[in-house]
Structure 1
Amino acid sequence: MITVKRKKFFLNFQDVYFAKDSEKVTIDKRTDIAIFVQASDKIVGAKEFHTQIIDLNKSEEELFRDIHEHDRNKINKGIKKKCFTVKINDSPSFEDIKAFQNFFKVFAEKRGIKDCNIGRINSLIKSNALVMCSAQDCDGKILCYHVYAVDEKRARLLYSTSKYIFGNDSKYRNHIGIANRYLHWCEIKYFKGKGFSVYDLGGISKDKNDDHLMNINRFKKGFGGREIVEYNKYKGISLLGRILVWILRKNA
């Protein structure tokens, strides 16, 4: 479990990741709003969160065999090409974070999605709970980034971004696709080697009307594992926090 305290504007937040029993979590009395992220127990008023997890207690051979043949082939190409350099950083610097933030900003604008939550990233770094990974080409240019929130046993993908959407030809996009899958495989091996037991691919969408999200689902499921249900919740602690959470629920 990860417990992170952070401040935004005039509010005090306490983020609690991967709680097994949310009722037993100690909340600081100065907290306005507690945010439970992927709690195991079904909290009253919480929203379901579906995600794809991989059991890292399996052998490396089993893990590779569980990956879909199409994705295994791309990983093997990444291994044989020997043109990717993978960097796994469990103590990223300010410069590392800035480089990722700039990379993600361009990606987010192209995709039409929200920018990365830099406050969340910084709070995780302060708690030694963030790992940043990247794959570079032979010229040292970064092709993709993956950012994880980690506790003692779980590595949970928070952000995944690549240059895939900037490719104008199928050859380049295929090159980025190989790099992205190869990076995931290197990370799986890294976290397994560090004694982690769960590799969490960061969410499965249930919106079947969104083709883009369905394609992301297929990509994640291509690495094997199983889908589970966990629970997210905003919980007001102070009077102000309770009022704000009530307003959020009413307008949801």
Structure 2
Amino acid sequence: MKIVIKYDNFEELGYILSNPDYLSMNGRNYGWLCGYENEKLCYIIPFVEKKKWIFRYMQVQSSTIILNGSKQSEKEFLNLAIDKLRQIGKIDFISQPKTNAVFDIYPDNAIYCNFGSYIVDLSINEEELFRNIHMKHRNVIKRAIANGVVIKFGYEVFDDAYDTILDTLYRNNMSMIDKNKLLEFISTNRKSCLIGCSYLDDIPQSAAIILYDNYKGYYFWGGTSENVSLGANNLLHWEIIKKLKSLGVQYYDFVGARIHTNNDRLLGIQRFKSRFGALLQYGYLWKYPIKRWKFDLFNMLYNFKMGKKDIIDEEKNNINI
């Protein structure tokens, strides 16, 4: 297998997570790890390169996109890609990926944790999709409709959606992607973005920004008002499910689920996701120390500055690896 690292320009593959506009939104320097067999492109991992302090590192933006290869050879591709990066010597380490990048396998000697994502199969009919939703979710969806909650989609609700999400993340000491960067991406990729907001008496209650392609819709950003009306967010996601299905999308990915956690807030979020008839896809998050001393030093500085570990190290500690 031949490994090629491509930068800046690449053929259009139809996957939103490998789209150059999406990658440039997440980092100035971006590219694709590519695996070829018999001159045929078989494997792709989109990435961004970042520089912080004295460190230069890579963050992958998606799990392996398999075009013409096999699941059985994915580990070989990952190992060879690591070897290629080590030979070039430009990258100090591969950091924890984005939480949508749930891999089926990890390279040899990687530092990894079990992770997952709740995913709704949109191939079944709408009646069955609704039946699969937990009874409590169905009940509050009906109540929200009866109470006059309205769902709106489109570019015109962007400001309300962004502000609602930003406020939610602020309450939880989390950051949000820059508004101008997101607007720039949406302006050129409107057919890949679904912006939704629930309202009661014209007051925003909950919001979601979904990026999608023909394969998956990804719930990347979402939030609720501090005093959200009962069922408003449930109704929003039910309408998102119907909307994505009507657009021909195959799956709705709620993005990210911890396998080992006792955090009540996280457990509540994951319970909310699972009750939409979503199945938990099990896999791994992984990172890789190409230059070990720099990797260890970065982790020490990061943990000190942030006051916490990354998800991989937290999950490892939760199961005492």
TM-score range, shorter chain: 0.7 to 0.9
Partner of 1:135: 198
Question: Residue type matched to 1:71 in 2?
Answer: H
Conserved 8 A contact 2:195-2:208: yes
- Percent identical pairs in the alignment equals 21
Partner of 1:150: 212
The number of residue pairs the alignment matches comes to 233
Q: Following the alignment from structure 2 to structure 1, what is the Cα–Cα distance between the partners of residues 193 and 63?
A: 14
1:228 pairs with one of 264, 278, 281:
281
| Structure 1 residues 99 and 15: CA distance shift in structure 2, 3 A | farther
Q: Which has the larger Rg? A: 2
Partner of 1:86: 152
Alignment TM-score, normalising by the size of structure 2? 0.59
Q: Note the 1:1-252 alignment, pairs <5 A.
A: 1=15, 2-3=17-18, 4-5=23-24, 6-7=27-28, 15-21=60-66, 23=77, 36-37=97-98, 38-44=101-107, 45=110, 46-87=112-153, 89=154, 92=155, 96=158, 99-111=160-172, 113-118=173-178, 121=182, 125=186, 128=189, 129-139=192-202, 141-163=203-225, 166-167=226-227, 173=228, 176-234=229-287, 245=295, 247-248=297-298
Alignment TM-score, normalising by the size of structure 1? 0.73
Q: Following the alignment from structure 1 to structure 2, what is the Cα–Cα distance between the partners of residues 106 and 151?
A: 28
Q: Following the alignment from structure 2 to structure 1, what is the Cα–Cα distance between the partners of residues 51 and 299?
A: 20
Q: Following the alignment from structure 1 to structure 2, what is the Cα–Cα distance between the partners of residues 59 and 138?
A: 32
Conserved 8 A contact 1:20-1:40: no
Question: 1:131-166: CA deviations, max 9, x gaps?
Answer: 322112232x21111122323211111122111xx3
| Structure 1 residues 123 and 236: CA distance shift in structure 2, 3 A | farther
| Structure 1 residues 78 and 61: CA distance shift in structure 2, 3 A | same
Q: Following the alignment from structure 1 to structure 2, what is the Cα–Cα distance between the partners of residues 52 and 203?
A: 7
Q: Following the alignment from structure 1 to structure 2, what is the Cα–Cα distance between the partners of residues 53 and 137?
A: 28
Partner of 1:170: none
Q: Following the alignment from structure 1 to structure 2, what is the Cα–Cα distance between the partners of residues 34 and 191?
A: 33
> RMSD of the alignment, in Å?
3.8
| Structure 1 residues 222 and 236: CA distance shift in structure 2, 3 A | same
Q: Following the alignment from structure 2 to structure 1, what is the Cα–Cα distance between the partners of residues 224 and 264?
A: 19
Question: 1:48-84: CA deviations, max 9, x gaps?
Answer: 3211111000111111000011110111223334441
Question: Residue type matched to 2:208 in 1?
Answer: H
Instruction: Please report how far the alpha carbon of residue 34 of structure 1 lies from its aligned counterpart in structure 2 after TM superposition.
Output: 6.7
| Structure 1 residues 123 and 203: CA distance shift in structure 2, 3 A | farther
Q: Following the alignment from structure 1 to structure 2, what is the Cα–Cα distance between the partners of residues 126 and 243?
A: 42
SS of the aligned residue for 1:182 comes to helix
Conserved 8 A contact 2:161-2:209: no
